[in-house]
Chains A and B, each alone.
Chain A
Amino acid sequence: MSQFLQQVINGLSLGSIYALIALGYTMVYGIIKLINFAHGDIYMLGAYVAFITTTYFGFSFFPAMIASMVVCGILGVLIERIAYKPLRHATRIAALITAIGVSYVLEYTTQYVMGSEVKTYPTLLSNVSFSLGPVTISMQQVYIFTITIVLMIALQLIIKKTKMGRAMRAVSVDEDAAKLMGINVDTTISFTFLLGSSLAGVAGILVGIYYNSIDPLMGMVPGLKAFIAAVFGGIGSVPGAMIGGLFIGIAETMVVAYGSSLYRDAIVYLILILILIIKPDGLLGKNQREKV
C-alpha cells in the first residue's frame, strides 16, 4: 500500500509536467484545430534556455523560469506568424505537415548549436526530501506540483475572466463570427500561442530538474504523451488537460513500478488508441459533427 501511495505521488509530479505541456496543445487545437507538433520542441527549448541562463549567467530558479517563459512565448508567437498563419485555411493535413517541419527545424537547430550530447542539469531546487507517513516526498516534487497548480489556476482565470480570454473562447467557437463582432482574430491566436508556449517553457525547466538531464530530442516523446493527455481529457478543455496529464503520469509510473519499464511508452500509446476508439472526444470534450 505504501508503495502504491508513493507511486501516486511520483505520478502526480510527472503528470503535472505533462499537464503543463498538454495545456499548450489543447489551447492551440481548440482555437485553430492544429496538432502543434512543434510544441514538444518549444518545451525542450525552455529547458535549454533555463540551462543556459543558470549555467552561464548564474540565474536562480525563478528568474530562469521567467526567462524560459519569455523566450518560449516569443518563439511560439513567431512560429505561429511565420509558419502557421499562411496555412490557416489550408487542409488540416497540410498544417500538420508544417508543424512536423517546424519541429524538425527546432530539434536539429538546437542539436547543431548545442551539440547532440546529453547535458546534466544544474540542481536548481533543493532536493531535500521528507517523510509523510509511509511516503517520501521531495521538495522538488512539492515545487513542481505547486507551480503547476498555480499556473493552471492563473490560466483558468485568464480564460474565464479577462477580455482576451473571452476573445479566445469566441474565436475557438466560430472564427468568422468573432471577426464580425470586432475581435482581432490574429492577435487572439497569437496570444493563445504566447500563453501555451510560455507554459511549455515552465514545463521545460521542470523536466530538466525532474530527470536531471536534457538533450535536443527530449521534446518528442513527452510532447506526444502530453498530446495524448490532452486527447484523453478532451481536446480544447483546460481542466481536461490537467486530468489527462495527471492520469498519464500516474499510469506511466504504475507500469514502471508494477509491470515492466520496457513497456512504459507502449502503455501511453495504448491509452491513446483506446480513448480514440471508445470516446474520441475525450473525457470532457464536446461532440462535433460534420454538416451534410
Chain B
Amino acid sequence: MEPILQIKNLTKNFGGLCAVSNVSMQINQGELIGLIGPNGAGKTTLFNLLTGVYEPSSGLIEFNEDGKKIQLGGLKPYKITAYGIARTFQNIRLFKTMTVLENVKVAMHKNIRYGTLAAILRLPSYYSEEKWVEEKACELLKEVGLYGKRNEQATNLPYGEQRRLEIARALAIQPKILFLDEPAAGMNPQETAELTNLIYRIRDKYNLTIILIEHDMSLVMKICERIYVLDYGKLIANGNPEEIRNNEFVIKAYLGEEI
C-alpha cells in the first residue's frame, strides 16, 4: 500500500543554521509513530514544516489523499489543515478566553456550511448547522472527558485538561493524520496513563495516523510502533522500539560520545 505521508529530503535553514537537514520519512496509514531526539534536535521545526507554519527550504512533503498525491510543502497552514492534517502545540495554544466548547467549535469551521450573510441575517441554515455543530462538539468533549467543563474558559482548566482539550480541538478537524507535540509534558503518571488510553482509543475510533513528539521514553516505547530519531536536524535512526533502544547512534546522541 502507498504511504499516507511521504517526506523526501526535507531541509529548513534559518540563516546559517540548518534546523532540519535532508530528512526523509515514510508514514503508513494507521501507524502510530514516535519522533524523538534531544532538545533542539529539530522535532518541532519538522512539525512546523509539515503543518505549514514554516516553508521548507527544499524537499518534498507528499500527502496521499485516496490515491491522489498532494504536495503540502509551502502551502498555508489552513490549507494543509483542510486536507485533514491536525496538530497540537507543545506550548499549548488554546483560545484562552473562549469557552471549552467554543474552542472545539472553532476547529469545526471547515465543515460548517453557512456564510457571513446567513449568520448576520440568521437564515435557517444558521440554525440547522449550529445545532449539528453543538452536538458534534459535545460528543468530542465527552470523548476526552471535558463535557462537564464545556462552559468554562479554556484558560481556567488545569494543565492536563488543557492538553486534552488541545487533542479534542484537533479531532474536531476530522483529521486523517494527527501530530501531537509533547502531549504528556507536565502530566503526572496517572494522567499519562489516561492519555495513553485516549491515544489508542481515538486512533481506532477515528482511523487515525498519529505522529507524536515526546520526551517521556516509557510512553514512546510503550505505544509507538515505529520511532524516528532526530539529532542536530538529521535523521539518525528509524525502527521499532526494540531496535531504537539498542541503536548505538541513539545512545550516543542522548548520552554523548565516549572518549
Contact = CB atoms under 8 A, between A and B. Distances in A.
A286 to B, nearest CB: 11
Interface string B46-80: 00100001000000000000000000000000000
Contacts of B44: 292
Interface in A237-292: 292
A292 B54 CA distance: 10
A292 B51 CA distance: 12
Nearest to B15: A287
Bin the interface of chain A by size: under 10
Contacts of A292: 44, 48, 53, 89
Nearest to B44: A292
Nearest to B93: A292
Contacts of B48: 292
B53 to A, nearest CB: 5
Interface string B25-61: 0000000000000000000100010000100000000
The dominant DSSP class at the A interface is loop
A276 to B, nearest CB: 21
Contacts of B89: 292
A244 B53 CA distance: 32
Nearest to B91: A292
B168 to A, nearest CB: 20
Nearest to B181: A292
A291 to B, nearest CB: 9
A292 B44 CA distance: 8
A163 B60 CA distance: 49
A292 to B, nearest CB: 5
A60 to B, nearest CB: 52
Interface in A129-188: none
B96 to A, nearest CB: 13
A93 to B, nearest CB: 15
A127 to B, nearest CB: 52
B155 to A, nearest CB: 15
A292 B12 CA distance: 15
A169 to B, nearest CB: 20
B57 to A, nearest CB: 15
A292 B89 CA distance: 8
Nearest to A287: B15
A292 B53 CA distance: 8
B93 to A, nearest CB: 8
A78 to B, nearest CB: 34
A176 B44 CA distance: 24
A94 to B, nearest CB: 15
A91 to B, nearest CB: 13
A11 B201 CA distance: 71
B97 to A, nearest CB: 13
Interface in B78-103: 89
A290 to B, nearest CB: 10
Nearest to A289: B14
A25 B111 CA distance: 46
B17 to A, nearest CB: 13
A292 B48 CA distance: 8
Nearest to B47: A292
Nearest to A290: B53
A292 B93 CA distance: 9
A59 to B, nearest CB: 52
Nearest to B45: A292
A273 to B, nearest CB: 23
A292 B88 CA distance: 11
Nearest to B14: A289
Interface string A60-73: 00000000000000
A292 B87 CA distance: 12
Interface in B86-124: 89
B4 to A, nearest CB: 24
A292 B14 CA distance: 14
A258 to B, nearest CB: 42
A292 B91 CA distance: 8
Interface in B145-162: none
A292 B19 CA distance: 14
Interface string A39-50: 000000000000
A33 B44 CA distance: 27
B203 to A, nearest CB: 25
A292 B47 CA distance: 10
A6 B89 CA distance: 59
Interface of A: 292
Interface of B: 44, 48, 53, 89
4 contacts: A292-B44, A292-B48, A292-B53, A292-B89
4 closest A-B pairs by beta carbon, nearest first, are A292-B53, A292-B48, A292-B44, A292-B89
